[in-house]
A and B are shown apart, each in its own frame.
Chain A
């Protein structure tokens, strides 16, 4: 569904993407995990036509993003990191304009606007001005807008950044539901738990390079199953174990304070890149 070959992006001498190769299958929920500045947003911006690529090729559902740009854009919906709604227009007007720019006929626009507002639980705010909505409601409206023209692929760029935990979980449930309805989802995040909870597969990206691609479980298994965080002379040290008992045995002889926890994606990221995601 998404095919990327040797994708590069340079800004002057700065290499934002250093040659990315990726395949995302239809119906997959694919997470792109990395720290700020790793190249996550640049990848999404190139795939959705907002930024020009410097080298390489990419296709969306078989349409080359450069040579068949308009056809490629019809395949996807985009929820960018920042709110980009028309604050002086109403909820319904924002959706209506989006439907028009995607060439949707009037009857279909009406039907889909009604459906999508129900889907994101905004039916009662249909005639509210966007500037009257909270951050979480705006984010849900942006998801509804991106889905209005029934895209095959949904790009979500840090969809829950800046939202409080309760709203974040509602967005996660919505994203799962969108995937269950058959949409391929490409999501960037720097929240470990978001990638772990949502993704079928995760790509770790660091300094414009992909360092690993696998399922969250497989990536974490590389490290073991349990971890002990311990403050030592060298600062925080983490030790990995295949079983809880093995970890407890190790902890039993320790004089210093420690934390026993399950291995997470950040451990795998740290092992591969030498740095933390956040």
Chain B
């Protein structure tokens, strides 16, 4: 089980390594534009809790990027499944669902962590240095776990690459903008605040931002992320069988 799991992970990492420059460039574009457009240009005009908007934005972008890049493993799985048929190599091998899903989720989380590194480096270039302690990284890991697990499950269930794009457009993109990335959720009307608190990213943003500002994170955030990740992981384990004809 461990060796097969590592093989699945290693394959993704070798491909990531081959595309590393392109991948990092791709990961840097959006955060860079957000920081220039929303953060740098606003300067000190907008402040939250004593922090500049740029300082407010960086933890939000960290939460968003760890989500989108971890979820991005779904695209790689689908390309391997629908265009290159490499998924069949795993299906025809004595690889358990647990080994396959764990390997792909770990690969997705690695992508998420790489994207976070890119954002922190760009933030540093803009002069943003925050508190990056263990609870900050734990929130990122859990957030990546949630969305990598969701990605693997959905990648097994979709019937075409176009379906995958639709899911990204309807699930991930709205969450990226509504999950406390660009604004404090507390400023929303109560009904809207209640709705966005149903999104796992809202909890990830809250925990990542609080720890980055050196404050105690909201207690339920880690529990919500862990429970959501566990449910998505369990769904992914069962979804692998659906990928057979």
Contact between A86 and B245, CB atoms less than 8 A apart: no
Contact between A50 and B93, CB atoms less than 8 A apart: no
Q: Which residues of the partner chain B approach A48 to less than 8 Å between Cβ atoms?
A: 92
Contact between A52 and B90, CB atoms less than 8 A apart: no
Main secondary structure on A side of the interface with B: loop
A36–chain B nearest beta-carbon distance, Å: 17
Using an 8 Å CB-CB cutoff, how does the interface string of B41-64 with A read, 1 for contact, 0 for none? 000000000000000000000000
For residue A80, CB closer than 8 A to chain B, the reply is yes
Q: Which residues of the partner chain B approach A50 to less than 8 Å between Cβ atoms?
A: 88, 91-92, 244-245
Contact between A49 and B92, CB atoms less than 8 A apart: yes
Contact between B86 and A73, CB atoms less than 8 A apart: no
Contact between A102 and B94, CB atoms less than 8 A apart: yes
Q: Which residues of the partner chain B approach A103 to less than 8 Å between Cβ atoms?
A: 3-4, 94
For residue B19, CB closer than 8 A to chain A, the reply is yes
The complex places the Cα of A261 from the Cα of B50 at a distance, in Å, of 93
Contact between A100 and B94, CB atoms less than 8 A apart: no
Contact between B94 and A73, CB atoms less than 8 A apart: yes
Contact between B94 and A70, CB atoms less than 8 A apart: yes
For residue B191, CB closer than 8 A to chain A, the reply is no
Binds A, one of B7-15, B160-168, B193-201: B7-15
Q: Which residues of the partner chain B approach A93 to less than 8 Å between Cβ atoms?
A: 14
For residue A87, CB closer than 8 A to chain B, the reply is yes
Using an 8 Å CB-CB cutoff, how does the interface string of A85-104 with B read, 1 for contact, 0 for none? 11111000100011011110
For residue B34, CB closer than 8 A to chain A, the reply is no
A10–chain B nearest beta-carbon distance, Å: 11
Contact between A97 and B7, CB atoms less than 8 A apart: yes
For residue B170, CB closer than 8 A to chain A, the reply is no
Q: What band does the interface of chain B fall in when counting residues whose beta carbon is under 8 Å from A?
A: 20 to 34
A64–chain B nearest beta-carbon distance, Å: 14
For residue B96, CB closer than 8 A to chain A, the reply is yes
Q: Which residues of the partner chain A approach B91 to less than 8 Å between Cβ atoms?
A: 49-50
The complex places the Cα of A51 from the Cα of B4 at a distance, in Å, of 21
Using an 8 Å CB-CB cutoff, how does the interface string of B1-30 with A read, 1 for contact, 0 for none? 001101110110011001100000000000
**Known A-B contacts A49-B92, A74-B94, A84-B84; A89 and B15 likewise in contact (beta carbons under 8 Å):** yes
For residue B89, CB closer than 8 A to chain A, the reply is yes
Q: Which residues of the partner chain B approach A49 to less than 8 Å between Cβ atoms?
A: 91-92, 244
Q: Which residues of the partner chain A approach B90 to less than 8 Å between Cβ atoms?
A: 101
Q: Which residues of the partner chain A approach B93 to less than 8 Å between Cβ atoms?
A: 73, 98, 101-102
Contact between B92 and A73, CB atoms less than 8 A apart: yes
User: Within the complex, which residue of A51, A71, A80, A89 is in contact with B14, where a contact is CB–CB below 8 Å?
Assistant: A89
Contact between B84 and A51, CB atoms less than 8 A apart: no
Contact between B10 and A87, CB atoms less than 8 A apart: no
For residue A82, CB closer than 8 A to chain B, the reply is yes
A-B contact count (CB 8 A): 75
Q: What band does the interface of chain A fall in when counting residues whose beta carbon is under 8 Å from B?
A: 20 to 34
For residue B95, CB closer than 8 A to chain A, the reply is yes
The complex places the Cα of A93 from the Cα of B8 at a distance, in Å, of 12
Contact between A86 and B94, CB atoms less than 8 A apart: no
The complex places the Cα of A165 from the Cα of B242 at a distance, in Å, of 39
Q: Which residues of the partner chain B approach A101 to less than 8 Å between Cβ atoms?
A: 3-4, 7-8, 89-90, 93-95
Using an 8 Å CB-CB cutoff, how does the interface string of B74-96 with A read, 1 for contact, 0 for none? 00000000001110111111111
For residue A78, CB closer than 8 A to chain B, the reply is yes
Q: Which residues of the partner chain B approach A100 to less than 8 Å between Cβ atoms?
A: 3-4, 6-7, 10
Q: Which residues of the partner chain B approach A85 to less than 8 Å between Cβ atoms?
A: 84, 86
For residue A45, CB closer than 8 A to chain B, the reply is yes
The complex places the Cα of A89 from the Cα of B50 at a distance, in Å, of 49
Interface centre among A50, A52, A73, A80 (most CB of B within 10 A): A50
A27–chain B nearest beta-carbon distance, Å: 22
Interface centre among A11, A87, A100, A101 (most CB of B within 10 A): A101
B244 nearest in chain A by CB position: A52
Contact between A51 and B244, CB atoms less than 8 A apart: yes
B10–chain A nearest beta-carbon distance, Å: 7
B100 nearest in chain A by CB position: A101
The complex places the Cα of A192 from the Cα of B77 at a distance, in Å, of 37
Going nearest first, the 3 A-B pairs with the smallest beta carbon separation are A100-B7, A84-B85, A51-B245
Interface positions of B (Cβ within 8 A of A): 3-4, 6-8, 10-11, 14-15, 18-19, 84-86, 88-96, 244-245
Sample of 13 A–B contacts (CB below 8 Å): A50-B88, A73-B92, A73-B93, A73-B94, A80-B85, A80-B88, A84-B84, A85-B86, A87-B84, A88-B19, A97-B11, A100-B3, A101-B7
| Given A78-B92, A88-B14, A88-B19, 17 additional A-B pairs, CB 8 A | A49-B244, A50-B244, A70-B94, A73-B92, A73-B93, A80-B88, A83-B85, A84-B88, A85-B86, A89-B11, A93-B14, A97-B10, A97-B11, A97-B14, A100-B7, A101-B95, A103-B94
